[in-house]
């Protein structure tokens, strides 16, 4: 492992298009200060696992079902992270809320991408397609995506990057989700990963 890169773990649950954007950015050199060394999924059927394997990245499946409790689930994740000396955790479509105990251990070292302009359409219950359904139900004309640090408040940590995306007449949740991903999420997340990886490298000396 290259010592001159921040070690990144990406936590996923589903399709993994945001993971793919990070892997592609690493490949192209846009992400130069960090390397994804581990992908953890809480869903054994997540296509994100295939994306990781295709890129030659180690994967781990850690499900709540296999652990007795949320605490045991988080402990298992923490052990996997510690074993690989992970510097930066990226939640890329990870559909599980982490406790304050967990987030406190990685202060300003956990990033999340959320498919709205926080503080709109965020917090408990707002995830995936539901976010876009809520935006369309409200009739907003502009939505977008946010990359933020993760703390004990769901979608409540410091905002790093945001990008606005137009809502267009006739949009379905699926169409809007795709536009927000293409125009905002897949650009913001790699940019934030490089930004914080560079900061970590600076601190490591």
Structure tokens of 119?
A: 């503080």
Which residues between 133 and 192 bind ligand GAR (CB under 6 A)? 181, 185
Residue 121 in the binding site for ligand GAR (CB under 6 A): no
3-class DSSP state of 152: coil
Count, residues in the chain: 205
For residue 74, whether the previous peptide bond is cis, meaning omega lies within 30 degrees of 0, is no
The reply on whether position 31 binds ligand GAR by CB under 6 A is: no
For the CB of residue 199, give the shortest distance to ligand GAR in the complex, in Å: 22
The residues that bridge with 163 in the sheet, in sequence order, are 145
118 lines the binding site for ligand GAR (CB under 6 A): no
How is residue 158 annotated by DSSP?
P
Q: Does 93 bind ligand GAR (CB under 6 A)?
A: yes
In the complex, minimum distance from the CB of residue 91 to ligand GAR, in angstroms, rounded to a whole number: 7
How many whole angstroms separate alpha carbon 109 and alpha carbon 132?
A: 27
**Could you give the maximum distance between any two Cα atoms of the chain, in Å?**
52
Smallest gap from Cβ 95 to ligand GAR, in A, equals 7
Active site residue 114: yes
Question: Nearest-CB residue to ligand GAR?
Answer: 93
Q: Of 5, 7, 51, 114, which one interacts with ligand GAR (CB under 6 A)?
A: 114
Task: Identify the burial level of 31 via C-beta atoms within 10 angstroms of its C-beta, where 0-12 means exposed, 13-18 middle and 19 or more buried.
Answer: buried
Number of residues that bind ligand GAR (CB under 6 A): 17
Query: Which are the catalytic amino acids?
Result: 114
Which residues would be at the binding site for ligand GAR (CB under 6 A)? 12, 14-18, 48, 92-93, 113-115, 127-128, 131, 181, 185
């Amino acid at each position: 492992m290259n010592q001159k890169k921040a070690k990144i773990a990406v936590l996923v649950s589903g399709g993994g298009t945001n993971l793919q954007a990070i892997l592609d950015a690493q490949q192209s050199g846009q992400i130069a200060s960090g390397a994804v060394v581990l992908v953890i999924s809480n869903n054994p059927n997540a296509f994100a696992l295939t994306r990781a394997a295709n890129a030659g990245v180690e994967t781990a499946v850690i499900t709540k079902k296999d652990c007795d409790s949320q605490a045991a689930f988080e402990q298992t994740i923490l052990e996997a992270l510690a074993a690989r000396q992970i510097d930066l955790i990226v939640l890329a479509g990870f559909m599980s809320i982490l406790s304050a105990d967990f987030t406190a251990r990685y202060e300003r070292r956990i990033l999340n991408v959320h498919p709205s302009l926080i503080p709109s359409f965020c917090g408990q219950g707002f995830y995936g397609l539901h976010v876009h359904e809520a935006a369309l139900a409200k009739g907003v004309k502009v939505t977008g995506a946010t990359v933020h640090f993760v703390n004990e408040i769901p979608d409540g940590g410091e905002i790093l990057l945001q990008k606005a995306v137009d809502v267009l007449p006739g949009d379905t949740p699926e169409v809007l989700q795709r536009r927000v991903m293409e125009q905002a999420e897949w650009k913001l997340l790699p940019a934030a990963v490089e930004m914080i990886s560079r900061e970590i490298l600076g601190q490591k000396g």
